[in-house]
C-alpha cells in the first residue's frame, strides 16, 4: 500500500486540526516622496513607500513575526513608523514613536522594526513624527485570525479606510500657520476633502445574498466621519481589534484612528445600487470654508449598468453609541484602580502668542533624549518622573497595577484619545458639558460589568471619561489626542510602565542607536541628556513661557490685527484673521449632504480588495 495508514492519519489529522505556522512577513520599505491626487482636485507631493502612493496595506496572520526594513529615502526629513493598536508586548522599542521609543530616522538611514503580533483585528500604521502622517504616510495593518469567531458568517472581507485630506503640506505650511501668534485661537486648518479608500466615487461590486465584512479605518489627521450605507444595516463585530457581541448599527461615528469591522449582507436582488457615505463631523471645524464638501460617496454596486444614486440628505446624524458594545471574550470590569492618572485638558496661549494644548497645565514638548533611553540609563531614578523632563507629562506605572486614566475635557471641542501598548476598558463616559469626573459610589456602581474595550475613544465637549487597564506591558507608552494638530500642540502624556523591569529585559538593536548617532541625538541620561546628575534638567527642551498676566487670546488677536495691518495690509491676514473665536456654531445650519465632486479618481471594479484607481 503506497499510502500507509500512518500517512493517512497524518493527512487526515492535518485536515481536521489545521495548524497555521507562524510566519515571518518581511517588507522592504523605502520611504520616498511621491505624488497623489486622491480627490481629483489637486496634485500634490505625498509621502509614499517604494515610490508608490497610497502606501501598501500590511496583512499578516495572528502570531506572525513582522520585519519591516525601513530606509528613509525622503532626503530632507526624518521619519518613523508606528503600528497603531499593536501591543508590542515586551517590544516597546518597536513602537515607532519618535522621541519616545526611538530617535527619528534621519534621511539616508535605515531602521528595522521587528516584532511579533499576537492579537487579531483591524489596525493601521502611520508615521509618528510630528504632523507627518497626514502627508500620506498612513495605511491599513490587518491581522487575520484563523479562529475569528464570526468567520462562518461572512463570505469576503473588504478593507475600507476613510480619511480627511489636505491640499497643502500639513507638516510645514499648515503647521507653521496653526502654531503661530497669528492664530491665537488655535483654529485648526480644515481639510479640503474626505476620502474613502484614498479616492472618491469608489465602487464596490457585490453579489446578491453574500455577506461582506468591512474593516473600516479612519486614518484622518483631524476629522471624525459619520459612515453609513443606504438601504443596509451593519452588524458591528470588532472595535479597534476587540471582537464584540454583534450589534446592529445604521450609522457609525469614527474618530480619527478608530476602527470598526461590520458585517453587511447584500440584498437578494440587483435592481439598484446604493450609496456608501462618509461625512466629516463639521462640529470639529471652527469655521467651514465656502465650498467645502464634507462628504465622500462610494457605492455598493449590484449592477454596473444601473445608475449610481446620489446620497440622500439627512435631517440629523444619529450614530451608533459604542459605549454599549460588549467584548465577545466577556472580560469583566477590572478591580478598582490601584492608581489613577487624572488629566485636565485645556487649550490656552503661551507667551509666544500661539495656542497650545495642555494636560494639567503642561504642554508636551518632545525631550532631547527619547524617553525609552532615559528609562534605561538613569538607574533607580528611572522611577522618578522628574528625570523625564517637565514637559512630558510622565507618569510611572507599577507592574500589574490597575490604572484609571481620567480625562476632564475643559474645552468645547471633541477629542479622540489613544493609548499605545494597551487597549482599555471604557468604564465611564459623560455626555457633553458634564464637567469633570467626580468619583462616587453611585457612579462606580453604574460602571458596566463587561465594559467596551478599545484603543481610541472620544471625550465629548466639556465632558469626561474614565479608562481602565492593567499595567501588564512594561514599556513607554504615549497617551494622546489623535487629532494631529493637537498632538503637535502638546496634548500628550507619557506612561512609563515598569521602568526598572525594562532595564533588565530590553535589548535595543544596534541600528536604533545608529539612527540616534546619525541624527546627532543623545541617547543617554535624563531628558536633557545629563548623564551625571539625573535630576539636573538644565538645557532640556521646554515650552514657551506663559503669557504675561492680563493677556488674552482676544487681546492677541487685536494686537496682531493692528500690527500686521499697519505693516502689511489686511489682505495678508485674510486667510486666518477672519476666523471666529468661538468653536463652530454656524455649521449646524449647513446642509448635511452636499454633492460629491465631479471628475475625481474613479473607483475600480473590485472583488475583495478594492483599490481606487488614481489618475
Ligand atoms: Cu496612531 Cu500615537 O498613534
Q: In sequence order, what DSSP letters do the residues of 137-162 get, joined into one string?
A: -EEEEEEE-TT-TTGGG-SEEEEEEE
Please give the backbone phi and psi of residue 205, each rounded to the nearest 5 degrees, phi first: -80, 130
Q: What is the mean pLDDT of residues 406-420?
A: 98
Q: State if residue 415 touches ligand 1 by the CB under 6 angstroms criterion.
A: no
Residue predicted with more confidence, 17 or 566? 566
- What is the per-residue pLDDT across 169-179, written as a single tens digit (0 to 9) for each? 999 999 999 99
> Do the domain assignments include residue 457?
yes
Q: How confident is the model at residue 547 (pLDDT cuts 50, 70, 90)?
A: confident
CB distance 82 to ligand 1 below 6 Å: yes
**Per the structure block, which three cell numbers stand in for 265?**
449582507
Q: Grid coordinates standing for 254?
A: 469614527
**Residue whose CA is at the smallest distance from ligand 1 atom 3:** 84
Ligand 1 atom with least separation from CA of 97: 2
The answer to whether residue 199 is domain-embedded is no
Is residue 78 in a domain? Answer: no
Q: 192-237, pLDDT tens digit by residue?
A: 999 999 999 999 999 999 999 999 999 999 999 999 999 999 999 9
Residue 359 CA to ligand 1 centre (angstroms): 17
- What the block records as the C-alpha cell of 560 is 496682531
**From CA 422, how far away is CA 497, in angstroms rounded?**
11
Is the shortest distance between the CB of 480 and ligand 1 below 6 Å?
yes
Asked whether 126 lines ligand 1 (CB < 6 A), one says yes
d(CA 314, CA 250): 13
What is the three-class DSSP state of 12?
helix
Check if 478 has its Cβ closer than 6 Å to any atom of ligand 1: yes
Instruction: Answer whether residue 186 shows pLDDT above 50.
Output: yes
Looking at the CA of residue 456, tell me the nearest atom of ligand 1.
1
Count of CB atoms within 10 A of residue 82's CB?
26
Chain mean position to CA 483: 8
Residues 6+ apart with CB under 8 A from 26: 67, 68, 69
pLDDT tops 90 at residue 41: yes
Residues with Cβ within 8 Å of 404's Cβ and at least 6 positions away in sequence, in order, are 337, 339, 340, 341, 427, 466, 467, 468
Residues 6+ apart with CB under 8 A from 363: 350, 356, 357, 391, 489, 490, 491, 543
For residue 290, report the distance from its CA to the centre of ligand 1, in Å.
Answer: 31
In the block, residue with C-alpha cell 512594561: 474
> Distance from the CA of 456 to the center of ligand 1, in angstroms?
9
For residues 503 and 376, is the Cβ–Cβ distance under 8 A?
yes
Residue 332 has pLDDT above 70, yes or no: yes
Q: What pLDDT score does 22 carry?
A: 85
Tell me whether residue 442 is in a domain: yes
Residue 499 CA from chain centroid, whole number? 25
Whether 367 contacts 541, CB under 8 Å = yes
Mean pLDDT within 1-13: 44
Atom of ligand 1 minimally distant from the CA of 480:
2
For residue 515, report the distance from its CA to the centre of ligand 1, in Å.
21
Give the CATH number for residue 486.
Answer: 2.60.40.420
Alpha helix (H) residue ranges in 337-399: 371-377
86 CB within 6 A, ligand 1: no
Average pLDDT over residues 57-83: 98
453 CB near ligand 1 (under 6 Å): no
163 alpha carbon – ligand 1 mean position (Å) = 15
For residue 480, being part of any structural domain is answered with: yes
Q: How confident is the model at residue 19 (pLDDT cuts 50, 70, 90)?
A: low
Q: Which of 485, 547, 183, 178 is nearest to 350 (CA)?
A: 547
Residue 93 has pLDDT above 80, yes or no: yes
Cα of 141 vs centre of ligand 1, distance in Å, is: 13
Residue 407 has pLDDT above 80, yes or no: yes
Ligand 1 centroid, distance to 484 Cα (angstroms): 9
Backbone angles phi, psi at 457, to 5 degrees: -145, 145
pLDDT reported for residue 560: 62
Average pLDDT over residues 419-437: 98
62 lines ligand 1 (CB under 6 A): no
User: Radius of gyration over alpha carbons of the chain, in Å?
Assistant: 25
- Of 361, 348, 346, 344, nearest in space to 553 by CA: 348
Report CA(576)–ligand 1 centroid distance (Å). Answer: 28
What are the residue ranges of helices labelled H in 336-424?
Answer: 371-377
Q: What is the mean pLDDT of the chain?
A: 90
3-state secondary structure of 573: helix
State which ligand 1 atom lies nearest to the alpha carbon of 487.
2
Q: Ligand 1 center to residue 564 CA distance, Å?
A: 37
In a domain, 407, yes or no: yes
CB of residue 486 inside a 6 A radius of ligand 1? no
Q: For residue 492, report the distance from its CA to the centre of ligand 1, in Å.
A: 11
Ligand 1 contacts CB of residue 414 (under 6 A):
no
What per-residue confidence (pLDDT) applies to 21? 72
- Mean pLDDT score, 67-96: 98
pLDDT score recorded for residue 548:
83
Q: Is any atom of ligand 1 closer than 6 Å to the C-beta of 491?
A: no
CB 244 within 8 Å of CB 181: no
Query: What pLDDT, on a 0 to 100 scale, did the predictor assign at position 563?
Result: 60
Q: State in Å: Cα 74 to ligand 1 middle.
A: 21
Per the CB < 8 A criterion, the answer to whether 527 and 371 are in contact is yes
Under the banding of pLDDT at 50, 70 and 90, the label for residue 579 is very low
Atom of ligand 1 nearest to the CA of 126: 1
CA 95 to ligand 1 center in whole angstroms: 9
Ligand 1 pocket member 138 (CB < 6 A): no
Q: Which residue has the higher pLDDT, 590 or 187?
A: 187
Predicted pLDDT of residue 567? 53
Q: Is the CB of 420 under 6 A from ligand 1?
A: yes
Exposed, middle or buried by CB within 10 Å (0-12, 13-18, 19+), for 504? exposed
**1 pLDDT tier (thresholds 50, 70, 90):** very low
Nearest atom of ligand 1 to the alpha carbon of 124: 1
* pLDDT at res. 38: 98
Spacing, Cα 83 to ligand 1 middle (Å): 8
What whole-number distance in Å separates Cα of residue 72 and Cα of residue 76? 9
Round to whole Å and give the CA distance between 116 and 119. 9
Residue 12 neighbours by CB under 8 Å, 6+ apart: none
Residue 505 CA to residue 497 CA, distance in Å, equals 13
Identify the helix (H) or strand (E) that includes residue 228. strand 225-229
Domain that holds residue 379: 339-519
Q: Answer whether 444's CB lies under 8 Å from 317's CB.
A: no
What pLDDT sits at residue 327? 98
- Taking 70 as the threshold, does the pLDDT of residue 562 lie above it? no
Q: What angle do CA 488, 105, 217 make, to 5 degrees?
A: 55
Cβ of residue 259 lying under 6 Å from some atom of ligand 1: no
End-to-end Cα, the chain, rounded Å? 61
Separation of 298 CA from ligand 1 center, angstroms? Answer: 27
Q: Is the CB of 583 under 6 A from ligand 1?
A: no
Query: Ligand 1: distance of its center to the CA of 482 in Å?
Result: 6
Each as own residue / partner, the long-range contacts of residues 244-249 (CB below 8 Å, 24 or more positions apart, any chain) are 244/325, 244/326, 244/327, 244/328, 244/452, 245/325, 245/326, 245/327, 245/328, 246/150, 247/320, 247/324, 247/325, 247/326, 249/319, 249/320
Give yes or no for residue 488 CB within 6 A of ligand 1.
no
194-208, 248-262, 500-514, 558-572: least confident range = 558-572
Q: Please give the Cα distance from 333 to 428 (Å, whole number).
A: 11
Is 549 a domain residue? no
Reduce the DSSP state of residue 530 to 3 states and report it. Answer: coil
- By the 8 A CB rule, do 392 and 328 touch? no
On whether residue 463 sits in a domain, the answer given is: yes
Asked if 510 contacts 249 with a C-beta cutoff of 8 angstroms, the reply is no
Angle in degrees, CA 11, 16, 20, rounded to 5: 85
Q: Which protein residue has the closest C-alpha to ligand 1 atom 1?
A: 84
Q: Looking at ligand 1, which atom is closest to the CA of residue 84?
A: 1
Q: Is the CB of 84 under 6 A from ligand 1?
A: yes
274-321: per-residue pLDDT in tens? 999 999 999 999 999 999 999 999 999 999 999 999 999 999 999 999
Contact, 219 vs 161, CB < 8 A? yes
Q: Which helix (H) or strand (E) holds 215?
A: strand 211-218
Distance 418 CA to ligand 1 centre (A): 7
Answer yes or no: is the C-beta of 454 below 6 A from any ligand 1 atom. Answer: no
Give the separation between CA 324 and CA 322, rounded to whole angstroms.
5
pLDDT 10s digits, 342-393: 999 999 999 999 999 999 999 999 999 999 999 999 999 999 999 999 999 9
Dist. CA 556 → ligand 1 center (Å)? 32
Indicate the number of domains in the chain.
1
Amino acid at each position: 500500500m503506497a499510502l500507509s495508514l500512518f500517512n493517512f492519519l497524518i493527512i487526515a489529522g492535518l485536515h481536521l486540526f489545521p495548524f497555521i505556522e507562524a510566519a515571518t512577513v518581511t517588507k522592504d520599505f523605502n520611504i520616498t516622496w511621491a505624488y497623489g491626487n486622491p480627490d481629483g482636485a489637486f496634485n500634490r507631493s505625498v509621502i509614499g513607500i517604494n515610490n508608490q502612493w497610497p502606501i501598501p496595506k500590511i496583512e499578516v496572520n495572528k502570531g506572525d513575526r513582522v520585519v519591516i526594513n525601513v530606509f528613509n529615502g525622503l532626503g530632507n526629513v526624518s521619519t518613523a513608523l508606528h503600528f497603531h493598536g499593536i501591543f508590542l508586548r515586551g517590544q516597546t522599542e518597536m513602537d515607532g514613536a519618535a522621541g519616545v521609543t526611538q530617535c527619528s530616522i534621519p534621511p539616508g538611514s535605515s531602521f528595522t522594526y521587528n516584532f511579533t503580533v499576537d492579537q487579531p483585528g483591524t489596525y493601521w500604521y502611520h508615521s509618528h513624527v510630528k504632523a507627518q502622517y497626514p502627508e500620506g504616510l498612513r495605511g491599513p495593518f490587518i491581522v487575520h485570525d484563523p479562529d475569528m469567531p464570526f468567520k462562518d458568517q461572512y463570505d469576503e472581507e473588504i478593507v475600507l479606510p476613510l480619511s480627511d485630506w489636505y491640499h497643502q503640506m500639513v507638516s510645514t505650511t499648515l503647521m507653521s500657520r496653526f502654531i503661530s501668534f497669528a492664530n491665537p485661537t488655535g483654529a485648526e486648518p480644515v481639510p479640503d476633502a474626505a476620502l474613502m479608500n484614498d479616492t472618491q466615487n469608489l465602487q464596490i461590486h457585490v453579489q446578491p445574498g453574500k455577506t461582506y465584512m468591512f474593516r473600516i479605518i479612519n486614518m484622518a489627521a483631524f476629522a471624525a466621519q459619520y459612515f453609513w450605507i443606504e438601504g443596509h444595516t451593519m452588524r458591528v463585530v470588532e472595535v479597534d481589534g476587540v471582537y464584540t457581541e454583534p450589534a446592529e448599527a445604521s450609522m457609525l461615528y469614527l474618530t480619527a484612528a478608530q476602527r470598526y469591522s461590520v458585517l453587511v449582507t447584500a440584498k437578494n436582488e440587483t435592481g439598484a445600487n446604493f450609496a456608501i457615505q462618509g461625512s466629516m463631523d463639521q462640529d470639529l471645524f471652527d469655521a467651514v470654508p465656502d465650498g467645502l464638501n464634507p462628504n465622500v460617496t462610494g457605492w455598493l454596486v449590484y449592477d454596473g449598468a444601473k445608475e449610481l444614486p446620489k446620497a440622500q440628505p439627512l435631517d440629523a446624524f444619529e450614530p451608533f453609541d459604542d459605549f454599549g458594545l460588549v467584548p465577545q471574550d466577556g472580560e469583566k470590569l477590572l478591580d478598582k484602580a490601584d492608581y489613577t492618572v487624572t488629566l485636565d485638558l485645556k487649550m490656552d496661549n503661551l507667551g509666544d502668542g500661539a495656542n497650545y494644548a495642555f494636560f494639567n497645565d503642561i504642554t508636551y514638548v518632545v525631550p532631547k533624549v527619547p524617553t525609552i533611553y532615559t528609562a534605561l540609563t538613569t538607574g533607580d531614578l528611572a522611577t522618578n518622573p522628574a528625570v523625564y523632563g517637565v514637559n512630558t507629562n510622565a507618569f510611572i506605572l507599577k507592574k500589574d497595577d490597575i490604572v484609571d486614566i481620567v480625562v476632564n475635557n475643559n474645552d468645547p471641542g471633541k477629542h479622540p484619545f489613544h493609548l499605545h501598548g494597551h487597549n482599555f476598558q471604557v468604564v465611564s463616559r459623560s455626555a457633553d458639558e458634564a464637567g469633570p469626573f467626580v468619583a462616587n459610589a453611585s457612579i462606580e456602581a453604574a460602571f458596566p460589568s463587561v465594559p467596551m474595550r478599545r484603543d481610541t475613544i472620544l471625550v465629548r465637549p466639556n465632558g469626561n471619561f474614565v479608562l481602565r487597564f492593567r499595567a501588564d506591558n512594561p514599556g513607554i507608552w504615549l497617551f494622546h489626542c489623535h487629532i494631529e494638530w493637537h498632538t503637535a500642540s502638546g496634548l500628550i502624556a507619557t506612561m512609563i510602565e515598569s521602568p526598572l523591569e525594562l532595564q533588565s529585559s530590553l535589548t535595543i538593536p544596534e541600528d536604533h542607536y545608529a539612527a540616534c548617532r546619525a541624527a546627532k541625538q543623545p541617547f543617554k541620561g535624563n531628558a536633557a541628556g545629563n548623564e551625571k546628575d539625573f535630576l539636573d534638567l538644565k538645557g532640556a527642551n521646554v515650552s514657551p513661557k506663559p503669557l504675561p498676566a492680563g493677556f488674552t487670546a482676544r487681546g492677541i488677536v487685536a494686537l496682531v490685527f493692528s500690527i500686521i495691518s499697519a505693516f502689511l495690509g489686511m489682505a495678508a491676514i485674510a486667510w486666518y484673521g477672519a476666523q471666529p473665536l468661538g468653536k463652530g456654531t454656524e455649521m449646524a445650519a449647513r446642509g448635511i449632504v452636499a454633492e460629491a465632486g465631479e471628475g475625481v479618481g474613479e473607483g475600480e471594479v473590485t472583488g475583495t480588495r478594492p483599490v481606487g484607481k488614481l489618475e
